[in-house]
Structure 1
Amino acid sequence: MTHLTPWSALAGGLLIGLSASLLLWLNGKIAGISGIARQLIWGERRDFAWRAAFLFGLIAGAAACYALARAFAHTDLAPQARVGFPPVLLIVAGLATGYGTALAHGCTSGHGVCGLARFSRRSAVATAVFLITAIVMTFFVRHVLGLQ
């Protein structure tokens, strides 16, 4: 990492916490992205609208963040898409992540944000496994495969 960005990280964390809290308070739903996406495809039709709106908002919010950062920030600090990384490895990583979230019955947003906030032991274990796996795989990809 070349730039430490504590203010943007703080703002992002606050927005994630606020959005997860609002979804729980206003709809009684937990903001587990993998569960929301899975139920959007295979769930009951009566829940389709809020799930689709939630996922659309994630994508639109990321697009807006990229656009605003590029328009108003120094180009070195604006977020960059991963360039030069093998697409096959990205696909394998995405499939492995999907399998892992199905195996863990949730993802980092469901377990790491919402589950830990509810003091769930299962979520604490799942989050620890997510983090350890991420550290090991990052080491493997960067230092064994030599990809940056």
Structure 2
Amino acid sequence: MLTAEYLKQIVEYDPETGLFTRDGEIAGCLNADGYWRICIDGVDHLAHRLAVLFMTGQWPRFGVSHRNDDRADNRWSNLRSASPVQTARNRRASNKLGIKGVRMTPRGAFRASIYVNKRHLNLGTFTTAEAASEAYANAAVKYFGEFARAA
């Protein structure tokens, strides 16, 4: 298993830019999902996980999330530890409206709901998508804190 000591011998990490370099050149490349990956001894590693190892000396216990949702932005200030549940809370909308937590009722109104502690909570029915979206956004901040995503 890759250790922090070995990692620091073969690459450098700039926490201000989030870039890893090897022999003065930027290390790694973007993968199809938009994450930086770096090959070390024939094994591909995600750069955001390597940044945690480099900075803390330990592999991340759970996942690593990008605060600004830019998968290629590995600045130390943009990275945070995230459990699988926290990562799920930070997902984008995946419905037809493109508005997280909002769906259209058969009568043309907009219903807002949020999933908290394995339960769907109804936030109300609204005449506009914007009002329903605002209700979801407020609830997301209340229940999810820094991992809230309204869109």
TM-score past 0.5 threshold: no
Instruction: Between the two structures, name the one with larger relative contact order (CA 8 Å, sep ≥ 6).
Output: 1
Greater helix content: 1
Greater strand content: 2
TM-score between the two structures when normalised by the length of structure 1: 0.24
TM-score between the two structures when normalised by the length of structure 2: 0.24
